[in-house]
Structures are given as structure tokens and as C-alpha cells.
Structure 1
Amino acid sequence: MNAKGETTWFNWTQHPDHGPGAELLEVQEGGTVLDLGCGAGGNLAHLSALGMRAVGVDLSPAQIAKAQERWPDTRMDLYQGSALEHLASSATEFDAIFSVFGAAYFTAPDLMLPAVCKRLTPGGVFAMSQHPAVEGCYGCQASYIPRGPDEDPAIVRRWDFPLEAWTDMFRQYGFSDVSAEILPAPAEGKKRIGTLLVRGRRAYDWPLH
């Protein structure tokens, strides 16, 4: 049971304790994982508890501080900064990389996917989840995020595509065994929006550089 009293620690969806868990990453004890947009660190802390080397990066200093405060006794390597810059500068080969409503949602796929592929071991898994696209609203979309009462809202860009487009892009940038699906919302509760989940593994014949 985690710090929130949840019966599972790893959530791909916006609905707590719903859907698959860390098994989708196919990483064993001792493996190395990277969370792109780790936020407060709940998913990453779970992987660390399973004996993995857990690395997280988040653009927000406040989120990194929150993760450090929330999980003071958990071994996690946390970095504040851009996910793309971290991928470019890291010398680590990861067994799995993932993004749960994180940096992959807010970065152009033609930049994110090749950068991720380069940092995965051959056969390593990349999985990402986010809101599914609204039909007909594809490509780069913009959202206004409220801030303080005396501040203009922040503008956040995200990338939305139908399932077949995600599958094609993953394959284009070096992934095999690609799957894309919409996980439906749980039967109980008022929230009915499902979760987009896309997963692939780095192709063994994809060039290292």
C-alpha cells in the first residue's frame, strides 16, 4: 500500500488503482528505468521499491522538491530540467523509459521518439499514457492552465493523434511490437474519459546512433 493508501503504486491512468501496472515495462530487479515527467515521484518510487535503478526528470523544480520530500528514504536519481535535454546528455542505456501524462504528452513526437529510442537498450520498452485525442483535433493543440488570480494563464502545448498515427510514428522512429489502445474509465465514478496507452520496444536492428 502506498503513501496515499492506494493498493497499487503504479498507475498509467488518471483513475487511481485502475488498469495495468509496472509489468508493462518488463524490467526485472536491477534494471534501469527513466520517468520522463516524474512529478511527485509515485510511480518511480514503486519501481525503486522493486529493486530497479529509478531515474526521473521533471521540468518543474517544485515537483522535484515534492518528490524528494515525499520519498526521502527511497533511492531515486532525480533531475530538474528538460526531458529532451536529459535524454541528449545522458550516457545511460535504460531498460525501459516511460511517461505517464508527462513530458511525452507535451513534446513533439518527431523529437521525443528518436531521442527515447537512442537511450533504450535493444528490446527495451517505451510506454506513454495521456488523454486520448478528441476526434478531429489532431497534431499540436494548446491548453490554457490557470495560475494565480492576478496572472495570465499559462499556455501548454500537447500533441494528440489517433491510435493508428501513434502506431505509425513509433514504428517510423525505431520501435517494434507497437500497440496503441484506449483504456476505458472504470465502471464506477462520474469521470468517463479513458486513457491513451502506447507501447513499443526498441527494434534490435535499429542503429545505435
Structure 2
Amino acid sequence: MSLAEPWDRYAAGSTPRRTVNAKGETTWLNWTQYADHGPDESVLGPVAGRRVLDLGSGSGSNLAHLVTLGATGQGVDVAPARERVARERWGQMPGLEFRTVDVAAFLHETDETFDVVLSIFGAVWFVDPDTLLPLIRSRMAPGGILAFSHLPPGSQGPKPAEAGLRHDHTPDEWRRILTGHGFSDVRVSLIEPPEGRAVGTMLVRASAA
């Protein structure tokens, strides 16, 4: 069975993202597992004119938001169902592309470079960092930003059972791993959950300088 199959089944059972958030916005970036919670795209700095790669782009909504701010975006996801949903919702937006492909294969094949690489509960959580991070680093422009989020170590969340282990790491471990693969200015923060919820979100940002 290919890796795409369990992720495709998971995608087919996912609830579609809302078309409007609590502020009445039709596009927005959400780093956490909770609606209308956490920081926005300012984590990345200015994105206008920058080339953005989303590893595990899902429905494409986070990437589409950055494109509305002037970025150009490439989304990749291993699940064919994700690309179908993304194209149905965002396919007419200029400067935005989606592909169904394993992220490591994409990074091996592409000759593009990117100013920003995102992984929001995406590939960085599920692919061995010693395999993935060198590939990401090799495709990043000087001074580029890598930013990703996932549940804190030991937290439980939904995933296809066949998709493999999560790569849960502590803040200190992420700093060591990222620095070891050529990243600098590594910043790791824990976003506290909203009231009544127990599990926060880990957010990691690093520079390719």
C-alpha cells in the first residue's frame, strides 16, 4: 500500500474548512488546530513578492491566503483528494499551484528555490527530519524562512495509522536538529490553547541564512 492511500482516506473524512472566519475574512492563515486562535502570517514577515512552498498543503487555504497578500505559492500534498479540494476552491487564483506528490520526491525533482517553506501539521511532523530538512534547505533562497507547527511532544491527534510515526521533538531537540542541518535563528514557541482546551501547539521558525 502506498503512503498516499491512508492519507487519502483521512482527507476524504476531513471536515471542509469554513469559507468565512469569525472576523468575516474569506482567507486567513491558521497555525493551530483551533479555529480563530493563535498568531497570523506575521510570523513569516512580509510575504509580498516571495515564493512560498507549503509541504502538506491540504485544502490550500493557508497558502491561498499568502497569495492574496502578494506571494506566489506552490502546494504539495501526497493525498490526491487534497489536490482536488484545493483546485476546486482556489484553482482560479493566479500565482497558486498544487501538486499531488510525495514531498521528498518533489524536493528532489524541483529546480525552484523558495523564500518561505511552511508545514502546518504537515510533512515536517511525519517525515524523518534527517531526510527532509537537508532537502528543504537545499531548495531555500538565502535568508529564507522555514516555519512549521504541530502538537507538542506526547500529544495525541488524528492521523492515518498506516502513515508512520510522528517526529515529536522538544524545543531543544528542534533547535539542535535544525542547527545541525544548516538553519539558524531557530525560535520555538508553545501557543497556549484556548480556554477549555488542554493541548497547545508548537510553532517553530528558522532561517536559511
Q: TM-score range by the shorter chain?
A: 0.7 to 0.9
Matched, 1:196 2:185: no
Residue by residue, what CA displacement relative to the aligned partner does 1:6-41 show, whole Å, maximum 9, x if unpaired?
436001111122111112222431210000000001
Q: How many angstroms apart in 2 are the aligned matches of 1:100 and 1:158?
A: 13
- Give the fraction of aligned pairs with identical amino acids, expressed as a percent: 37
The residue aligned with 1:3 is 19
Residue by residue, what CA displacement relative to the aligned partner does 1:100-151 show, whole Å, maximum 9, x if unpaired?
001111100111111111111111000110011028xxxxx9x873xxxxxx
The residue aligned with 1:148 is none
Question: 1:155–1:91: structure 2 CA closer, same or farther, 3 Å change rule?
Answer: closer
Q: Secondary structure at the match of 1:96?
A: strand
**How far did residue 89 of structure 1 move?**
1.1
Question: 1:6–1:202: structure 2 CA closer, same or farther, 3 Å change rule?
Answer: same
Residue by residue, what CA displacement relative to the aligned partner does 1:45-88 show, whole Å, maximum 9, x if unpaired?
10111111111000000011011112233231111011111111
Q: How many angstroms apart in 1 are the aligned matches of 2:198 and 2:63?
A: 27
Q: Are the equivalent residues in 2 in contact too, given 1:33–1:94 (CA < 8 A)?
A: yes
Q: How many angstroms apart in 1 are the aligned matches of 2:73 and 2:82?
A: 16
**How far did residue 5 of structure 1 move?**
3.1
Matched, 1:57 2:76: yes
Counterpart AA for 1:102 = G
Q: How many angstroms apart in 1 are the aligned matches of 2:163 and 2:122?
A: 16
Q: What's the TM-score once normalised by structure 1's chain length?
A: 0.83
Residue by residue, what CA displacement relative to the aligned partner does 1:147-189 show, whole Å, maximum 9, x if unpaired?
xxxxxx63432111111000110100011110112111022xx
Q: How many angstroms apart in 2 are the aligned matches of 1:144 and 1:12?
A: 17
Question: 1:48–1:70: structure 2 CA closer, same or farther, 3 Å change rule?
Answer: same
The residue aligned with 1:121 is 141
Which one of the candidate residues 181, 187, 196 is aligned to 2:189?
181
Which one of the candidate residues 58, 69, 80 is aligned to 2:100?
80
Q: How many angstroms apart in 2 are the aligned matches of 1:119 and 1:155?
A: 25
After TM superposition, list the pairs within 5 Å mapping 1:153-172 onto structure 2: 154-172=162-180
Where do 5+ consecutive residues of structure 2 fail to align?
1-17
RMSD: 2.1
Question: In the comparison of the two structures, how many residue pairs are matched?
Answer: 188
Q: Are the equivalent residues in 2 in contact too, given 1:26–1:125 (CA < 8 A)?
A: no
More helix by share: 2
Q: Are the equivalent residues in 1 in contact too, given 2:21–2:36 (CA < 8 A)?
A: no
Q: How many angstroms apart in 2 are the aligned matches of 1:32 and 1:167?
A: 25
Q: Secondary structure at the match of 1:92?
A: coil
After TM superposition, list the pairs within 5 Å mapping 1:33-112 onto structure 2: 33-75=52-94, 76-112=96-132
Q: Are the equivalent residues in 2 in contact too, given 1:113–1:170 (CA < 8 A)?
A: yes
